[in-house]
A and B are shown apart, each in its own frame.
Chain A
Amino acid sequence: MWEQLSGQMFFIGFFGLAAVWFGIVVFRTYSMVRSALALLFSQTALGAMFLSMQAEFLGVLQIMMMATEMSIMAIFMVMFMMDPGGLGKMEMTHQKRLSLGAGFVSFITAVVVAVFVDWGPVVSLAPDAGQQTVDLGLELLGRSMLIFETAGITILTAMIAATAVAIKPISRSNKHGS
């Protein structure tokens, strides 16, 4: 069995376990910033899994995007929480039973989808990174365009709305400097 374990399989497994472990750390810590950084490491490990699977563009993109996204998440948490700068302690889990139930159902659903969906034949040789980027570009600007544009605009709207909520309204008296 060990002879069949290629370097690629080893790294996919290693980064997969790292992603799961850092995902657990997100809820085991008592700090918003530690939690955000753990989520960042988890997502970066996923990016490393993409790289291990020879999906270079997706891997680099995942590693790049997640650093910005998790940082944005951290800044939003600090904006909304009663914890100046994220220096204080905070319980990172809420509604534990509901969360556990939802997590379990999601896990089972993901496993069922992964095992029972017909994914088609496995590609024996991955196309080179340049070709993958071309294929991905055509996919994103073709049949998947509507999905991605919808997701992008939804996220942008949510961010603008959240920022608008966080801004303290300027009262008329303050506006005139009194």
Chain B
Amino acid sequence: MLAAAVIPLTSGLIITDLATGALFINAALVYVLVALLMAGWGPDGAYAMVGGWRFLGQLIAYAMLIVMPITAVVMRAESLLTTQIVVSQADLWNIIYQPLGFVLFFVAAMALAFLPPFDLPTAQGELAGGVEAEYTGVRLAVFRLGRLVLIVTLATATVIFYLGGWQGPWLPPWAWSAIKILAVSVTMLLAGRTMPRIREEHLLAWCWKLGVPLALLNIFLVGILVLVFP
């Protein structure tokens, strides 16, 4: 919810256009980690606790793949203002300008929202719900509602970082924002449905051994592009 406060839906439709907006989004998203760790550890149960610690390991790895692609986006915009990031994509969206960053960010966003195939903290088959295992009724509803808000926030962040935000022909800006956010949210929810759940050690190994070097390569490539085509 806090991250959503600095994400613009149109050029004027933003709660607060912070000068550190892109950094603030990351700061707010990191607290998902703390929330899930507390939710898993709090009930004093084995499955929930394992789910919480799993997510901690998962997110320490994937937080890098959130922040490093954002760094490359900010490099192109030369600003942390989220509105400025959207304006910087007027000629060419970042999904074309830095496709590697988009892929890394999208995968990391799915891992952050623990959507399949990254749903290790709530793994139904092996942890009987994991972090969710000990919650019922209103608490479970709030937990799941929070996760849906998180997915929409991440989809909105993807739209402003890589898909040109509210920009598009013919339709009004708010309509473009709505269409893009809906499309990204649906893609996030459906993308992993048919995939088997990734094993914890494979997830971490892919992130640290493949994801982080690729994110550094992305920053390097964008740096060259920014210098060559200012």
Interface residues of A (CB under 8 A from B): 33, 37, 40, 56-57, 60-61, 63-64, 67-68, 71-72, 74-75, 78, 85-87, 128-130, 133
Contact between B19 and A74 (Cβ–Cβ < 8 Å)? no
- The 8 lowest CB-CB distance pairs between A and B, nearest first, are A64-B27, A129-B19, A67-B30, A85-B49, A130-B19, A60-B20, A60-B24, A63-B27
Cβ contacts under 8 Å, B37 to chain A: 33, 71, 74
* CB-based contact A64/B50 at 8 Å: no
A67-B27 Cα distance, complex, nearest whole Å: 8
Q: Mark B50-79, 1 if CB is under 8 A from A, else 0.
A: 100100110110010000000000000001
Q: How far is the CA of A128 from the CA of B18 in the complex (A)?
A: 11
Closest to A66 in B: B30
Determine which residue in A57, A63, A67, A78 has the highest number of CB atoms from chain B within 10 A of its CB, and name it.
A67
CA distance in complex: A78, B80 (Å): 36
Q: Which residues from 104 to 124 on chain B have a C-beta closer than 8 Å to any C-beta of chain A? A: none
Residues of B in contact with A, size category: 20 to 34
Q: Which A residues lie within 8 Å of B14 (CB)?
A: none
Residues of A within 8 A of B23 (CB): 57, 60-61, 64
B170 touches A (CB below 8 Å): no
- Is B229 on the interface with A (CB-CB < 8 A)? no
How far does the alpha carbon of A130 sit from the alpha carbon of B81 in the complex, in Å? 9
Complex Cα distance, B107 from A48, in Å, reads 31
A67 to B28 Cα, complex, angstroms: 10
Task: Give the chain A neighbours of B81 by CB distance below 8 A.
Answer: 130
Distance from A57 Cβ to chain B, minimum over Cβ atoms (Å): 5
Please tell me if B182 contacts chain A, counting CB pairs below 8 Å: no
Known contacts A33-B41, A56-B19, A75-B56; decide if A133 and B80 are in contact (CB<8 Å): yes
B38 on interface, CB distance cutoff 8 Å: yes
Given contacts A33-B41, A85-B53, contact A68 B19 (CB under 8 A): no
Q: Contacts A67-B30, A133-B19 known; A75 to B60 CB distance under 8 Å?
A: yes
Q: Which of A40, A85, A129 contacts B34 (CB 8 A)?
A: A40
Whole-angstrom distance between the alpha carbons of A37 and B34 in the complex? 8
How distant is the Cα of A71 from the Cα of B26 in the complex, in angstroms? Answer: 15
CB contacts (< 8 Å) of B150 on chain A: these are: none
A40 CA to B34 CA, complexed, in Å: 9
Q: A57-B19, A71-B59, A86-B41 are in contact. List 16 more A-B contacts (CB 8 A).
A: A33-B37, A37-B34, A37-B38, A56-B20, A64-B30, A67-B30, A67-B31, A71-B37, A71-B60, A75-B53, A78-B53, A85-B49, A85-B50, A86-B49, A129-B19, A133-B19
Can you give 11 contacting A-B residue pairs, CB < 8 Å?
Answer: A40-B34, A57-B19, A72-B60, A74-B37, A78-B53, A86-B41, A86-B49, A129-B20, A130-B19, A130-B79, A133-B80
